[in-house]
Amino acid sequence: MTRNMRLRTCFSSFPVGERDRLAALIGRSPLMASLAAILVGLAGGAVAAFAPFWLGFAALAALAGVYAILVDTRVGLATVIGIATIVPFATLPFRAVITPTLLTLALAALMGVWIMRMLVRGDERVTITPMGMALIGFLGITLFAFLLGSNASPEPSLLHNYVKFTMATLFFFSVVNCVRDRQTVRWVFRFLIIGAAISAVIALVLYVIPDQMALQILVSFGRIGYPTEGRVLRYVEDDPNGLMRAIGLSVDPNSFGGMLALIGALAATQLVSERPTLPRRMLLVATGVILLALFLTYSRAALGGMIVAAMYVATLRYRQLWWVILATGALAAVLFIGLGVGERFVERIVEGVQFRDRANQMRLAEYQNAIAIIQAYPVFGIGFGQAPEIDLVAGVSSIYLAIAQRTGLVGLTAFLGIMIWFFVRNWRALRAASVIGDEERVAWLVSLQAALAAALAVGLLDHYFFNIEFSHMSALLWGTIGLAVAIEEMGVEG
């Protein structure tokens, strides 16, 4: 068999244009192809000889996944979204020098693939966008604060978490460079909604089965990095005799609620739009499941974010949604006043507003402490480690105070500037789409604005969208922004 015949056989499953480019590239560099084959063979032999037997199969599965991403970056996008929404804290099932999360590996693989594809394809270039330049500037501020706060010698665990946070934030660029047509936009929307719905179903199952069985199921995930002791199941006020909180596989009910609020706002907006990305019945079921799981997290921040998003959408575009909001409020009032349904939840809301419960009293203390830190370190903050003074404690349940605390007022100004710029740009794109009657694009832009509005509202009382230990939340936040920018960059005919 000639070399040309072997090349045709090897790359027969690649898209025609890309197959020709890759074959030509390797054909010009036989030494590179030979070295790559030798390295793969040596690695496979080492795995078979020295590693557990199942590791070889895992490596084959990983190679198959990389190949699938090489063929179609939409597979990589779906993988990142699936991990971020369903198993955000999953890691490799074995210990190494460091144990990266599956999300970090998926983000790195996706970024590496689209950069490599850009290098192979001479007719395409890496897209940065003005919004991307602003994001790079914001990341630069966080890096400076990180180095300043750690005296340029961070602890390994802190460095690991910061790298995860950075990789998650850079998901913005992966989305912008991989989403180039309408079909891919629909693909991403569908996987966001389906991923959140699957996560919500898992949460509901764990919620309704006996607590001990739910605990055993969650502990079984310890092999892939999940906690096996401590607060595995979560309850309101940490009282096992009180209300259990839905958590799914997200470890923390408040971060889980924030994820559901972001995607739930997107799904609910798609439900009332004229051109939804999924069949309306499927959207109705998915949105209902997501909202039910969100309610059972008993996260007041997430519920408030969802309400803010609904009011935003009703005011901005779909006025008929106000009737749904009012009807829902009236039904809730009747159920509570007439039948006493949800009495404990309403009591929790009232206590929260009055700052009478322990959780919100702790929040008040955190706010006071955060303000003291910002006053002491106003420019670039204290970085991402511990507070430099004994009488100050880092950490606060608000994304805005957390950013100001960690990166100073410089970082907070940059973040708020990016968010304001995003909405200004998106409103312009929305008006342009409305003028030409592009209802599908209108629905996309309004849905993404609703998702971001929900996230920013949740951020008033929670910090998970800017927490280096919850990198999946950063990936979802900046991925949402990246998707909106990608839709703007496609142009009207995209």
Q: Cβ neighbours of residue 393 under 8 Å, at least 6 residues apart?
A: 366, 369, 387
SS3 content of the chain, % helix, strand, coil (to 5): 75, 0, 25
- C-alpha distances (whole Å) from 134 to each of 414, 418, 490 are 8, 7, 20
Q: How far apart are CA 419 and CA 459, in angstroms?
A: 13
Predicted local confidence at residue 93, as pLDDT: 79
Alpha helices (H) along 51-170: 53-71, 73-86, 102-120, 130-149, 156-169
Q: Is there a contact between 120 and 19 (Cβ–Cβ < 8 Å)?
A: no
For tokens 């008929």, name the residue. 320
Q: Is there a contact between 478 and 451 (Cβ–Cβ < 8 Å)?
A: no
Q: Is there a contact between 259 and 240 (Cβ–Cβ < 8 Å)?
A: no
Predicted local confidence at residue 368, as pLDDT: 86
- C-alpha distances (whole Å) from 48 to each of 40, 44, 52, 57, 59 are 12, 6, 8, 10, 10
State how far Cα 443 lies from the chain centre: 21
Q: Cβ neighbours of residue 228 under 8 Å, at least 6 residues apart?
A: 219, 222
Predicted local confidence at residue 36, as pLDDT: 47
Q: Cβ neighbours of residue 126 under 8 Å, at least 6 residues apart?
A: 115, 118, 173, 177
pLDDT tens, residue order, the chain (494 aa):
444 444 444 444 445 454 455 444 444 444 544 454 455 555 555 545 555 545 555 555 666 665 566 667 899 999 999 999 999 999 987 766 677 899 999 999 999 888 887 777 766 778 899 999 999 999 999 999 999 888 878 888 899 999 999 999 999 999 999 999 999 999 999 999 999 999 999 999 999 999 999 999 999 999 888 998 888 999 988 888 888 999 999 999 999 999 999 999 999 999 999 899 999 999 999 999 999 999 999 998 999 999 999 999 999 888 888 887 787 777 776 665 655 556 666 666 666 665 666 666 777 888 888 899 999 999 999 989 887 877 777 888 899 999 999 999 999 999 999 999 999 999 999 999 999 999 999 999 999 999 999 999 999 989 999 999 999 999 999 999 999 999 998 865 55
> Which amino acid, residue 469?
E
